[in-house]
Amino acid sequence: MSIGDETYPVCNLQSLALVPDAACFVVLGATGDLSRRKIFPALFDLFSDSRLPETLVMLGFARHPLLDQDFRHDLEAGCRSYARRREFDEAAWQAFSSRIFYLEADLEEAAGYERLARVLGGRERLPGLPESQSLPANALFYLAVSPEHFGPIADRLGSACLGSSERSSGAVNPSGLCGWRRLVVEKPYGADGKSARELTRVLQRNFKEEDIYRIDHYLGKETVQNLLYIRFSNSIFEPLWNRNHIESIDISVFETEGIGQRGGYYDKAGASRDMLQNHLIQLMCLTTMEPPASLDPESIHDEKVKVLKSITLKGTRDLLSRSRRGQYTRGSSPGGKEIPAYVEEAKVRPDSRTETYVSLRLELDNWRFSGVPITLRTGKAFADKYSQIVIHFRRPPTALFAAQCRETLVHNALTIRIQPDEGVWLRFNAKVPGMPSIKPSELRFSYRETADYLPEAYERLITDALSGDSTLFIRADESEEAWRIVDALEKAWSSADPMGNPFEGGLLEYAAGSPVPELER
Ligand code: BG6
């Protein structure tokens, strides 16, 4: 790699190089949207890049009566539209799809799981599997179903001896399946702390915690992973990464679209459960955690949990003053498309008070960040779409330039741009040529200019789950600690009058397509 005239070596981190194991990749609820839009397109991209084991077998498991070729046909349409590679490679598709099979089963009945166990354990031949092929001994169960099915499905897998906990696998596994068994669970993980704990209890009854992979797709994004690389592979940032030098941190995820067809789910969740509990809180943890003892998953999870435990919640009034909630009314997207008011969206209650915008200012009660406000904000149907973390540094001492410029001398700021325009920007002050003036300037690093491609989050997460690396997934205690914050916020809001003062928990209305709100300082 060269920068200017100099050539630098690239350091390949052998300890982080992932080697996915051969496995049966079983997608439960395989005929749904997630499977068509995300899981199989990601698998196809991985396959096209030769990053999947040659013997991987993919097995759709769902209720619809389909033949292998019908299932492949549906997935082909999904892969054509949603795979990262824009050129559809017919030959690659033929080779890839020949490894996809379908088992029809009622996900609510034990019989289907018993059959799955016979098939995976080699006691029943998978219809359609060529004579020359056998199934790998490992099995990954991907729950692409709605959340109320997570627990019951885990129990049914366990009862069919397809789990990995002692109870469900037994000393000698009667299913005959002798390799590892892992469970991948999508979000939402619980609707509050209580239901998340209950879900964990059920999952852990059937799978060991280290075999449970809770997805937060933000952690699979390259730019989010880059956070740890930037912080801990440079010596210029970390000495400044504390309350002595950082004035505030803003983490924002804004979207231009409304909720579309997801009203049934969203109206019960709102922005706080849909985005804050997972993506935003995870970004905060990665931005503020201490350097882990090592790069192994447990050390990283431990540090994230410490961040969350350092947040002291000081009661309803305090939470109401630190938070804002809003809901969009009728308006239009930046492209001119009309967006109905949130309460007019399909499957939303007409008198719904569910928030589509949330802002929450938190403080960590720890040595490094005590007193530094961290604002987490997210919303739908705004004029801009971006996700970013901005670290605002303190103003320089008042002597010299700052004394004269005062408020016009901007603070240094480091922006970690997650999407779009993925990159890192550093804002600093510089002289205006030919004038005794100072103006803000920027150093910009753009991922797209330096990388051949940016893998999709699901490509990375699938690779990690097949490789047995849980770093980019959520551990049970992380999820519980995040729920502690969101539960308290929801409780505070439920005690406030939604029609009241927005500074005391009232619901703000904003027209769809409005500019992203100014940050309150
Ligand atoms: C999902 C939320 O987890 O993340 C959606 O359920 C949201 O409501 C989406 O739109 C945003 O993800 P991304 O990758 O498009 O920023």
Do both 180 and 229 map to the same domain? no
Cβ(223) – ligand 1 distance below 6 Å: no
Do both 175 and 225 map to the same domain? no
In a domain, 457, yes or no: no
* Domain CATH code at residue 73: 3.40.50.720
The mean pLDDT value of the chain amounts to: 93
Q: Give the residue, by CA position, lying nearest to ligand 1 atom 14.
A: 218
Give the least confident one: 100-114, 350-364, 396-410, 477-491.
396-410
Rounded Cα gap, residues 63 and 105, in angstroms: 5
Q: Is the pLDDT of residue 16 over 80?
A: no
Q: What is the per-residue pLDDT for 259?
A: 96
Banded model confidence at residue 171, pLDDT cuts 50, 70, 90: very low
Banded model confidence at residue 390, pLDDT cuts 50, 70, 90: very high
Residue span of the structural domain in which 210 resides:
14-215
pLDDT tens figures, 277-308: 999 999 999 999 999 999 899 999 999 999 99
Cβ(274) – ligand 1 distance below 6 Å: yes
Average pLDDT over residues 384-409: 87
Do both 168 and 232 map to the same domain? no
- What is the number of H-type helices and E-type strands within the chain? 17, 19
Q: Is the pLDDT of residue 173 over 60?
A: no
Give the least confident one: 162-166, 180-184, 235-239, 416-420.
162-166
DSSP designation for 272: I
Banded model confidence at residue 407, pLDDT cuts 50, 70, 90: confident
Q: Give the residue, by CA position, lying nearest to ligand 1 atom 4.
A: 275
Rounded Cα gap, residues 442 and 20, in angstroms: 40
Average pLDDT over residues 201-216: 97
Task: Among 186, 215, 244, identify where a domain stops.
Answer: 215
Q: What is the per-residue pLDDT for 2?
A: 61
Report which listed range, 9-18, 244-253, 292-301, 450-459, is most confident.
244-253
| Phi–psi pair at 420, nearest 5 degrees | -75, -165
With b for 16 or more beta-carbon neighbours within 10 A and e for fewer, the 196-206 pattern comes to beebbebbbeb
Spacing, Cα 345 to ligand 1 middle (Å)? 18
Of the candidates 465, 473, 472, the residue with the CA atom closest to the CA atom of residue 140: 465
Rounded Cα gap, residues 477 and 487, in angstroms: 15
Q: Is the pLDDT of residue 510 over 70?
A: yes
Which atom of ligand 1 lies closest to the CA of 387? 16
Do both 189 and 304 map to the same domain? no
Q: Is the pLDDT of residue 4 over 70?
A: no
In a domain, 47, yes or no: yes
In a domain, 412, yes or no: no
Cβ(412) – ligand 1 distance below 6 Å: no
Q: Is the pLDDT of residue 454 over 90?
A: no
Give the pair of three-digit tokens for residue 238: 């970390």
Sheet holding 24-28, edge to edge: 100-104, 57-62, 24-28, 139-143, 181-185, 212-214
Banded model confidence at residue 170, pLDDT cuts 50, 70, 90: low
Q: Is the pLDDT of residue 5 over 80?
A: no
Q: Of the residues 64, 73, 245, 279, which is catalytic?
A: 279
Q: Domain total for the chain?
A: 2
Banded model confidence at residue 7, pLDDT cuts 50, 70, 90: confident
Rounded Cα gap, residues 295 and 469, in angstroms: 11
Average pLDDT over residues 381-409: 88
Task: Among 159, 192, 215, identify where a domain stops.
Answer: 215
Helices (H), 312-451: 316-322, 401-405, 447-450
Cβ(387) – ligand 1 distance below 6 Å: yes
In a domain, 329, yes or no: yes
Do both 271 and 207 map to the same domain? no
pLDDT tens figures, 253-279: 999 999 999 999 999 999 999 999 999
Cβ(456) – ligand 1 distance below 6 Å: no
Do both 234 and 198 map to the same domain? no
Q: What percent of the chain has pLDDT over 70?
A: 97
Do both 198 and 253 map to the same domain? no
Q: pTM of the predicted model, to two decimals?
A: 0.94
Average pLDDT over residues 172-191: 83
pLDDT tens figures, 30-75: 999 999 999 999 999 999 999 999 899 999 999 999 999 999 999 9
Spacing, Cα 70 to ligand 1 middle (Å)? 29
Give the least confident one: 146-155, 366-375, 443-452, 489-498.
443-452
Cβ(222) – ligand 1 distance below 6 Å: no
Do both 194 and 310 map to the same domain? no
Give the pair of three-digit tokens for residue 249: 């941190």
Which residues, 6+ apart, have CB-to-CB distance to 355 below 8 Å? Answer: 270, 271, 272, 325, 326, 327, 493, 507
Q: Give the residue, by CA position, lying nearest to ligand 1 atom 9.
A: 275
Distances (CA, A) of 297 to 5, 25, 188, 482: 38, 22, 22, 18
Q: Is the pLDDT of residue 168 over 90?
A: no
Do both 164 and 255 map to the same domain? no
Q: What is the per-residue pLDDT for 39?
A: 97
Task: Among 215, 233, 249, identify where a domain stops.
Answer: 215
Quick check: 473 and 241 in contact, CB under 8 A?
no
Which residues, 6+ apart, have CB-to-CB distance to 490 below 8 Å? Answer: 192, 272, 273
Rounded Cα gap, residues 199 and 294, in angstroms: 29
Quick check: 227 and 414 in contact, CB under 8 A?
no
Q: What share of the chain is helix, strand, coil (3-state, %, to 5)?
A: 40, 20, 40
Cβ(164) – ligand 1 distance below 6 Å: no
In a domain, 461, yes or no: no
* Domain CATH code at residue 368: 3.30.360.10
In a domain, 415, yes or no: no
Of the candidates 159, 64, 386, the residue with the CA atom closest to the CA atom of residue 250: 386
Q: Is the pLDDT of residue 169 over 90?
A: no
Which residues, 6+ apart, have CB-to-CB distance to 70 below 8 Å? Answer: 102
In a domain, 5, yes or no: no
Which three-class secondary structure state does DSSP give residue 264?
Answer: helix
Helices (H), 147-189: 150-159, 166-169
Do both 171 and 260 map to the same domain? no
Which residues, 6+ apart, have CB-to-CB distance to 334 below 8 Å? Answer: 256, 383, 384, 513
Give the CA count within 13 Å in the CB-facing half-sphere of 249: 25
Do both 179 and 84 map to the same domain? yes
Spacing, Cα 149 to ligand 1 middle (Å)? 21
Do both 239 and 165 map to the same domain? no
Annotation says 149 is catalytic? no
Banded model confidence at residue 29, pLDDT cuts 50, 70, 90: very high
In a domain, 132, yes or no: yes
296: left (phi > 0), else alpha (psi -120 to 50), else beta? beta
Of the candidates 182, 179, 174, the residue with the CA atom closest to the CA atom of residue 114: 174
Distances (CA, A) of 66 to 103, 176, 321: 8, 27, 54
Spacing, Cα 172 to ligand 1 middle (Å)? 42
